[in-house]
Amino acid sequence: MERKLWEILDDRFLAYSPEQHPIVLQIGGSNLENLAKATELASAYNYDEINFNCGCPSPKVAGHGCFGVRLMLDSKFVGEAMSIIAANTNVPVSVKCRIGVDDHDSYHELCDFIYKVSSLSPTRHFIIHSRKALLNGISPADNRKIPPLKYEYYYALMRDFPDIKFTINGGINSVVEVNAALREGAHGVMVGRAAYNNPWRTLGHVDTAIYGAPSSGLTRREILERYQEYGDHVLGRDGNKRPNVRDVAKPLLNLFYSEPGNGLWKRKADFAFQHCTTMKSFFEETLAAIPDSVLDSPIAGVPSGREDLFANIHDLLPSSYDAREQEALDA
């Protein structure tokens, strides 16, 4: 019997290896029926949490269909959406958002959003990118660096909403800075772009520096041997030769960031993508660019970071938010 198209698409976008637990699925949209269906379809895949995107400033997202960060301007809808998402899953739900949008960037407006969404839904976890978003005139990349970071808003949310979990995000680039945030009381820390741009030095220390686990001693050669087995297993899984070698290898391209041979490795990879059909052949053709001393060295000492990134942050907090005042206004 032929599989239905939506079943094929489910596997393409939702399937993952069991080793990836704990894993969170992020969904986005502004149609309640579609959000309910997406959550229902995801339930069969046993994600550990469903997250709703209220933070993406991309014109392809925020500029069409009014979702992503634009939804911060409609907290009532987000509350309704989160209720529907929660009703269609048995796992926790969360919201990823910014601290504001364009001129709607006061701490009080941010609190209004958190208060209304949490009052209208079971949402008890918000991931806060500590920058506002500018919807007109700058790119998504510029939206990650031009609006100033206001970590004081994040820590003030923890003070004013003690029953809600908050994860801090934005501008945190090393495990040293993660620990700095945790020392000041952060519930959790999300590291995104830094982990993608320099995964070895950013993620290689997490288990020891954050969780106190003993170092695995793994080298990049050993990691790539395991990844080769995984990659060759998933190649072509979705039909129509997808994913292909380029799709599977893309997350690896910054593994040798700033190391000898990195530039040549990327050039060889670009060429290999044109004809390699297995991960084994891809690695055989490209890894000759990387010296054995790099491939066979375990992770070195913890890289430097700004240990004072959150120094005196509690002296900068805005005035407390009064939920009772907001309730009176809503009445």
Q: Residue 247: pLDDT band by 50, 70, 90 thresholds?
A: very high
The pLDDT of residue 305: 84
Query: Which tops the pLDDT comparison, 310 or 1?
Result: 310
Please return the burial class of 2, using the count of CB atoms within 10 Å of its CB with bins 0-12, 13-18 and 19+.
Answer: exposed
Mean confidence (pLDDT) of the chain: 91
Q: Is 96 annotated as a binding residue?
A: yes
> pTM of this prediction?
0.91
Q: Residue 137: pLDDT band by 50, 70, 90 thresholds?
A: confident
56 is catalytic: yes
Q: Is 169 annotated as a binding residue?
A: yes
Q: Is 124 annotated as a binding residue?
A: no
Cα–Cα separations (whole angstroms), residue 322 to 72, 75, 115, 213, 329: 20, 17, 10, 41, 11
Q: Is residue 138 scored above 80 in pLDDT?
A: yes
Selected catalytic residue, list 54, 56, 97, 111: 56
Q: Is residue 171 scored above 90 in pLDDT?
A: yes
Name the token pair of 188: 């959790």
Q: Is residue 7 scored above 80 in pLDDT?
A: no
Give me the residues paired with residue 125 across strands: 165
Q: Is 170 annotated as a binding residue?
A: yes
The pLDDT of residue 2: 40
Q: Is 171 annotated as a binding residue?
A: yes
Give φ, ψ of 275 to 5 degrees. -145, -15
Name the token pair of 27: 């969904």
